[in-house]
Amino acid sequence: MFKRHAAWLKDLVDAGGRTGVGSHGQLQGLGYHWELWDVQSGGMSNHDALRVATLMGAEAIGLGGDLGSIESGKLADLVVLEANPLDDIRNSNTIRYVMKNGRLYDGDTLDEIWPRQQPAADEPWRNTAPVANTTIGGAGR
């Protein structure tokens, strides 16, 4: 079903229509990449898929004047990648750096590296192991 939907989105964008990418919380951090890859899987060019994920999405929520592309006067939060997503859309998750609000962070650890050098906060979710329920039907059954 994903490929049929993605092919329809390609036709929509080719005809001048707009769409966007979103994620629903599945596997935080990777869900958005999965959605981007799915959009591209119907034959859309990598460039158009990236436009869907950035500028078209910003325009869809009414923020195209502030977000979605690198232009004078727009907010400049950036993601710096290790590999080019124009070569392979799956390179979208090769995150090396993130710049947010003028601060540069390491993409793997979220440690701030500029203008200050300080480790990321020790959030509770960083050190929480998953709970494995190995019984059928839930614990205690």
Could you report the per-residue pLDDT of 14-30, keeping only the tens digit for each?
999 999 998 776 666 78
Could you tell me the residue range of the domain that residue 113 belongs to?
77-123
Helices (H), 19-131: 31-40, 46-51, 57-60
Query: Is 49 within the bounds of a domain?
Result: yes
Separation CA 97–CA 103 (nearest Å): 10
pLDDT at 18: 92
Indicate whether 84 and 65 sit together in one domain. no
Query: Which residues of the chain fall below pLDDT 70?
Result: 25-28, 137-141
Regarding whether 65 and 101 lie in a shared domain, the answer is no
Is residue 33 domain-shared with residue 55, that is, in the same domain? yes
Q: Are residues 31 and 1 in the same domain?
A: yes
In a domain, 140, yes or no: no
Domain count, the chain: 2
Q: Give this prediction's pTM.
A: 0.81
